[in-house]
Amino acid sequence: MIYNLALTLVQQPEVLERVLRVVRHRGFKVTTLDMQLAANGTTQVDMVVESERALELLSHQLNKLIDVTECKVLSAEQLSTKLTTRLSTRQIQPASALNA
């Protein structure tokens, strides 16, 4: 099954490692991943994961992580719209803006 997740994380250097470790260990495979540091001090991660297991086995474990403040399940359309909007926004930014 394919699941679409939108995570809000506390900005910590290791937070992406924490999330990806749980995804792998609980039996899910990341097929798409997008991460962005937000101005409000959070990190936004949108990802598509694949597994034969029920989504709750992952979402509950992600919610237990101290630095995960929100774990939302999106429909494929919602995630696709979100990613497309974000990617198109990025394409018009110069490289210097991304590195700022």
Which residues of the chain form contacts with other proteins (CB under 8 A)? 14, 17-18, 21, 25, 56-57, 60-61, 63-66
State which residue, 29 or 90, has the beta carbon closest to other proteins. 29
| Shortest Cβ 59–other proteins spacing (Å) | 9
| Shortest Cβ 26–other proteins spacing (Å) | 10
Torsion 44-84-34-63 (CA) sign: positive
State which residue, 61 or 78, has the beta carbon closest to other proteins. 61
Q: Which of 32, 34, 29, 71 is nearest to 50 (CA)?
A: 29
Dist CA 46 CA 4 (whole Å): 8
